[in-house]
Amino acid sequence: MEYGLSTNTYNVPQSDKPISPSNFSAEHHVFSNLRAIDYYLSVNAGHMLDLPIFSGGLGVLAGDTLKSAADRGVSLAAVGILWNKGYFKQNFWFKDGQVPEETNWDPCSYPGLVELEPRVEIPLKKETIHLKLWKFDVWSYDKKHVVPLILLDSNVEQNSEFARKLTDQLYRSDNAEWKILQRVILGIGGMKAFQKLGYPIDIYHLNEGHAALAFLENPKGRFAYTCHTPVAAGHDRFPKKALQEILQDEAFTLLKKYGQDSGHSDLINLTELAMTTAQHVNAVAMKHGEVTRLQFPQYKDKIQSITNGVHTHTWISEPVKALLDRFQEIGDWRKSPALLNNVLNLKDNPEFRKGLWEAHQANKKNLCKTLKGWQIRDDVFTIAWARRIAAYKRPSLILQDVERILDLAKRIGPIQIIFAGKAHPKDDLGFTHVNEMLSTIDGLEKHRDWIRVLMLENYDTYFGKLLSSSVDVWLNNPLPPFEASGTSGMKAILNGVLQLSTLDGWVVEAADKNVGWIFGWEHHGTDIGDERNLRLKEDAANLYGMLENIITLYYDTNREDGLNLNSDWITKMIHAIAQGSFFNTDRMVGEYEQKIWQA
């Protein structure tokens, strides 16, 4: 359904033709506890818009997967949707919270994106939907291979006014009909596109259940399916009646046979459809594997887990790259990210320790430069929370008790907190969190010398890379066990940014690897629990207790009288980078090849 390719920072596509100004990123406003500055200044990134066909981590992971498949020379083609109006552009309005706006961009002048001649048609009960095809080549780091990404677009003349809008907005959720038709386009249209283009395909990999209707177009095909979330809203269920009105009779009969929801006789469940029809099913981290087997016990023998990763070349920053290149004994980590583990041999090398701190400071200076209007300082403890705003991710956890943070700042040293993230426009709970955070930040105006809090508008991969490479601590506090994996922390460890996290998702596999600190409530046992019971009070108290030690260690490392080169902080940074040897999509794609595609 979505791909985030970070085309704004990695393998930026070039073109001789003029590029529409709408394909460049607009200014980002900031909501901070320096309100006067927010009115006058904004961050003008001025870079190209990342191909705006994704919403968050799921899409970025899909993009990273294609890049690693290209790096490894895997014979793979991908299909998705060309979202003519993107996801949405986020604006913060005080007292109103998040105000969404359409993203306007111009596919025709987006470099690297080409329209193909063949088209496909999907005959449905009421009308036939015509799809235009686009292609975007995803290049390997060494430019030796490409993975073609085919994008489907219903904005064509033959379609009704209604059908032309179906590929406008990602995750538009006005009603069941919209959602079903978007999934029809992806699943059935995607399958038809591969046939039309003549790609000889052995196995179809459904990345999320959104694509599960592909089975209806090719019931004899071989399928694999990756499930990405234990959160209820992430699993598509539709009334049979709505599907019957859309699909042709033969397809609907197949769907009733294979897609029955086990809890509700009137519903079709795309997750169950995918689990039934796929030979291989996988979850995206070990812990998520356990949880998925608990949630879907009838398929438990099929469900394995392959832990997510990130694309090393995209997320590692230039200063860290330069440092790794200076120490040849690490080896060719570009070719083989597994070699990053060799940094552990440099743990006691003062040159490397010093170089790593300097690389970190160079990244942090870059952040300070971008946010210079807000007087962000490179010698002040800085922590970030940045990802999609969803209730289970608990964006406001660190703001639960501002008196406690203020006390920490006054006793130990000043604190900078940076937030960024979008809430789905129909997610009322997420929306409430944004509102609550804006008013808490506003209330901190008079404490600005002790705590500086910034909330960046319109989070994207540009800010994703900027923040995950430059802050001191990456805060990740989902309510266990609802974070299937999480990937932003993997971007951070590649840059020596330490993790402060609850025990969930990928972090469970790194918990004993000395990459930071674990806090908060833990999930054990067979009861998955309730994603609405957020445990904010108890976990916030736990978080502040942990921060006391962390901030103390930070100011004991970055001392006023100079750097403490022997600090445990720097040792942890080295362990963090070493873990990048595992939490990358090169290793992940290798596991997919071995355990699924060639199994």
Ligand X SMILES: *Cc1c(COP(=O)(O)O)cnc(C)c1O
> Who contacts 143 (Cβ-Cβ below 8 Å, separation ≥6)?
none
Q: Could you tell me the smallest distance in angstroms from the CB atom of residue 118 to ligand X? A: 32
Q: Could you tell me the smallest distance in angstroms from the CB atom of residue 200 to ligand X? A: 33
Q: With respect to ligand X, which residue has the nearer C-beta, 485 or 567?
A: 485
Tell me: does residue 580 bind ligand X (CB under 6 A).
no
Tell me: does residue 486 bind ligand X (CB under 6 A).
yes
| Chain residues 509-548 in contact with ligand X, contact rule CB under 6 A | none
Which stretch of DSSP H or E encloses residue 174?
none
Q: Could you tell me the smallest distance in angstroms from the CB atom of residue 463 to ligand X? A: 7
In order, the DSSP letters of 96-121 are TEEEEE-----GGGSTTEEEEEEEEE
Q: With respect to ligand X, which residue has the nearer C-beta, 57 or 289?
A: 57
Which residues are bridge partners to 419 per DSSP?
385, 455
Q: Could you tell me the smallest distance in angstroms from the CB atom of residue 467 to ligand X? A: 9
Q: Could you tell me the smallest distance in angstroms from the CB atom of residue 388 to ligand X? A: 6
Q: With respect to ligand X, which residue has the nearer C-beta, 181 or 398?
A: 398
Pairing of strands 415-420, 381-386: parallel
Q: Could you tell me the smallest distance in angstroms from the CB atom of residue 335 to ligand X? A: 24
Instruction: Please classify residue 201 by burial: count the beta carbons closer than 10 Å to its beta carbon, then call 0-12 exposed, 13-18 middle and 19+ buried.
Output: middle
Distance in angstroms (rounded) separating the CA atoms of residues 282 and 228: 9
Q: Could you tell me the smallest distance in angstroms from the CB atom of residue 230 to ligand X? A: 14
Distance in angstroms (rounded) separating the CA atoms of residues 408 and 417: 13
Q: With respect to ligand X, which residue has the nearer C-beta, 52 or 57?
A: 57
Can you tell me which of 387, 394, 452, 572 binds ligand X, judged by CB under 6 A?
A: 387
Q: Could you tell me the smallest distance in angstroms from the CB atom of residue 575 to ligand X? A: 20
Residue 304 identity: Q
| Chain residues 422-481 in contact with ligand X, contact rule CB under 6 A | 459-461, 464
Contact predicate 185/131, CB 8 Å: yes
Q: With respect to ligand X, which residue has the nearer C-beta, 57 or 480?
A: 57
Measured in residues, the chain has a length of 599
Distance in angstroms (rounded) separating the CA atoms of residues 272 and 367: 44
Nearest residue to 327 via CA among 345, 303, 307 = 345
Q: With respect to ligand X, which residue has the nearer C-beta, 208 or 460?
A: 460
Contact predicate 467/486, CB 8 Å: no
Tell me: does residue 488 bind ligand X (CB under 6 A).
yes
Q: In the structure encoding, which two tokens stand for residue 293, read together?
A: 């087997």
Contact predicate 64/310, CB 8 Å: yes
Tell me: does residue 494 bind ligand X (CB under 6 A).
no
Distance in angstroms (rounded) separating the CA atoms of residues 586 and 528: 31
Could you give the residue ranges of the DSSP H alpha helices within 142-189?
161-164, 176-184
Q: Could you tell me the smallest distance in angstroms from the CB atom of residue 434 to ligand X? A: 15
Q: With respect to ligand X, which residue has the nearer C-beta, 154 or 488?
A: 488
Q: With respect to ligand X, which residue has the nearer C-beta, 229 or 558?
A: 229
> Who contacts 315 (Cβ-Cβ below 8 Å, separation ≥6)?
465, 468, 469, 490, 491, 494, 495
Tell me: does residue 352 bind ligand X (CB under 6 A).
no
Cα–Cα–Cα angle for 365, 368, 373, nearest 5°?
155
Q: Could you tell me the smallest distance in angstroms from the CB atom of residue 461 to ligand X? A: 5
Number of residues in contact with ligand X under rule CB under 6 A: 13
Q: With respect to ligand X, which residue has the nearer C-beta, 340 or 507?
A: 507
> Who contacts 137 (Cβ-Cβ below 8 Å, separation ≥6)?
112, 146, 147, 148, 149
Binding segment toward ligand X, per CB under 6 A, in 25-33, 80-88, 443-451, 482-490: 482-490
Q: Could you tell me the smallest distance in angstroms from the CB atom of residue 325 to ligand X? A: 25
Q: With respect to ligand X, which residue has the nearer C-beta, 60 or 76?
A: 60
How far from 184 is each of 163, 213, 246, 247, 265, CA to CA, in Å?
12, 6, 9, 9, 22
Tell me: does residue 205 bind ligand X (CB under 6 A).
no
Q: Could you tell me the smallest distance in angstroms from the CB atom of residue 175 to ligand X? A: 27
Q: With respect to ligand X, which residue has the nearer C-beta, 86 or 190?
A: 86
Tell me: does residue 388 bind ligand X (CB under 6 A).
yes
Can you tell me which of 487, 501, 557, 581 binds ligand X, judged by CB under 6 A?
A: 487
Q: Show the site string, 30-69: x = touches ligand X by CB under 6 A, - = not.
A: --------------------------xx--x---------
Q: Show the site string, 309-348: x = touches ligand X by CB under 6 A, - = not.
A: ----------------------------------------
b/e map 170-187, b = 16+ CB within 10 Å: bbbeeebebbbbbbbbbb
Q: With respect to ligand X, which residue has the nearer C-beta, 387 or 587?
A: 387
Per CB under 6 A, residues contacting ligand X are: 56-57, 60, 387-388, 459-461, 464, 486-488, 491
